[in-house]
Amino acid sequence: MSRLATNISDLINQIPGRVYLMLAILIFGAANSITRKLTEVGAQNLIDGRNPISFCNVLFVGNLCALMMLGFIYWKQWKTYSLRQLSRTDWLSLIGVAILAGALAPALIFLALSLTMVNNVVLIGRIEPPLILALSVWLLRERVNRWVIAGSVISFVGVVLTIVLQKPEGNMVDMGGGIQVGKGELMAAAGAVFLAISTIISKVKLRQIPLGIFSIIRAVIGTVVFFAIALKLFGPAHFMDVFSPFLWQWMLLYSAVIVVAGQLFWLTGLKKTSTSEVSLASAFNPIVGILAAYFILGEAPTFAQYIGGGIVLCGIVLNQIGVSRQSVETTAKSQVDSAKEMDMEAGFKGL
């Protein structure tokens, strides 16, 4: 038995890091479409006229399931780390990141999924990398080459075109100058902005905190904050079906695939690859997201999405050329910092 386990372990270790990264990207890229599909499954199995797999229930119960599984993944790290090591500044930064990335951003993205096409959410989410770059250059004085800047600017233009070229429909907001933008698109953009800000806070204030401790605390605070906000806005009746076995069986499966499998593949890939390889793998996220929307939901891209998405892809290509030309330090410390930063910069990962 031990020999078999050793052989399996050796086989797993021989798998290239790029394979793990691409498996993670396949899972994360499909997360939005899977979430929408789950709500459709819930709509076909109503409880007294209510959808048990509503977006709020998915986020709240999904976070609880994810928290249990994250605790299992990072148990050893949690046992050896003392929370007393965290300063007041660390706690304030953690709370800020948890509210932004663990509560507000997922809530806005889930609301966006209920109001607009998944492809819009996927493409508009690409506003996050240019924002992170701009904030990093402005606030952190990071140096990047022209290729990366050009790629980010072009990607930003692609996102803007995806938004403004949409055909007028319901739930539109008048932005002035004859421009109307859908509420879903605005929520997706706001979610991406919050994720970008949380990434910068993490870079500046939370570099020294291990990824496992960071992830668990963020999940705990984010879940509590989201529940409190939803309770205040919608009342206790909004969570009437939160203990539904039908909801929990789907959320346990969702968390096992999206959180556990996705996170394990991603972290294993981070350990076995360079920063440029991680960046290249992340570049495929929107492509996977659009393909997932088509195959899972039958959602074909619109004219605006073809135009905006094509420009976004051009920006991604230029960005990858820039990343490949940048020199990367490979000291142990930079690798640890890079792992956490790349985990944050991967964007929305389902919860």
Residue matched to tokens 């240019």: 130
CA 46 to chain centre: 29
Tell me if 209 is assigned to some domain: yes
Poorest-pLDDT segment among 153-162, 173-182, 282-291 = 173-182
The pLDDT assigned to 319 comes to 86
Query: Residue 171 CB: number of other CB atoms within 10 A?
Result: 12
Domain that holds residue 44: 18-345
Interhelix angle 183-205/128-139, rounded to 10 degrees, is 40
For residues 144 and 133, give the distance between their C-alpha atoms in angstroms, rounded to a whole number: 9
Condensed to tens digits (0 to 9), the pLDDT of residues 238-266 reads 888 999 999 999 998 988 888 788 888 88
Secondary structure class of 50 (helix, strand, coil): strand
The three-point CA angle 117-291-338 to 5° equals 95
Whether 7 is in a domain gets the answer: no
Distance, CA of 276 to CA of 288 (rounded, Å): 19
Per the domain annotation, does 184 fall within a domain? yes
Q: Measure the CA dihedral 249/255/257/259, to 10°.
A: -170
Supply 43's token pair.
Answer: 């709509």
Helix (H) or strand (E) run with residue 173 in it: strand 172-176
C-beta separation of 125 from 192 below 8 A: yes
pTM: 0.87
C-alpha–C-alpha distance, residues 62 and 153, integer Å? 35
In degrees and rounded to multiples of 5, residue 263 shows phi and psi of -65, -40
Strand partners, 47: 50
Domain count for the chain, please give it.
1
Measured in degrees and rounded to the nearest 5, phi and psi for residue 203 equal -65, -40
Residue 263 within any structural domain of the chain: yes
Q: Three-class SS of residue 1?
A: coil
Q: Which of 105-109, 157-161, 340-344 has the lowest mean pLDDT?
A: 340-344
Yes or no: say if 205 and 216 are a contact pair by the CB < 8 Å rule: no
Q: What is the total residue count of the chain?
A: 351
Radius of gyration of the chain (CA): 20
- Asked, for residue 10, whether it belongs to a domain, the answer is no
Instruction: Kindly report which listed range (1-15, 143-157, 185-199) carries the lowest average pLDDT score.
Output: 1-15
Q: What is the mean pLDDT of residues 283-288?
A: 89
With a pLDDT cut of 70, the percent of the chain lying above it is 87
> Is the separation of the CB atoms in 43 and 306 below 8 Å?
no
Residue-averaged pLDDT of the chain: 84
User: pLDDT band for position 192 (50/70/90)?
Assistant: very high
d(CA 214, CA 93): 11
Query: In terms of Cα–Cα distance, which of 222, 209, 251 is closest to 339?
Result: 209
| Contact in structure between 89 and 205 (CB atoms under 8 Å) | yes
| Single-letter amino acid, residue 77 | Q
Distance CA 312, CA 125 (A): 11
- Nearest CA to 157 among 123, 205, 182? 123
Percent of the chain with pLDDT over 90: 40
* H or E segment to which residue 176 belongs: strand 172-176
Measuring CA to CA, which residue among 318, 317, 320, 315 is closest to residue 156? 315
Nearest partner of 196 among 188, 244, 335, judged by Cα: 188
Determine the pLDDT at residue 330: 37
Whether residue 12 lies inside any domain: the answer is no
pLDDT for the residue 28:
92
Helix, strand, coil percentages, rounded to 5, for the chain: 80, 5, 20
In which band, very low, low, confident or very high, does the pLDDT at 273 lie, cut at 50, 70 and 90?
Answer: confident
Q: What is the pLDDT of residues 15-59, one digit of tens each?
A: 888 889 899 999 999 999 999 999 999 999 998 889 999 988 998
- State the first-to-last Cα distance of the chain, in angstroms, to the nearest integer: 37
pLDDT in tens, 298-345: 999 999 999 999 999 999 998 888 877 765 443 444 444 455 566 666
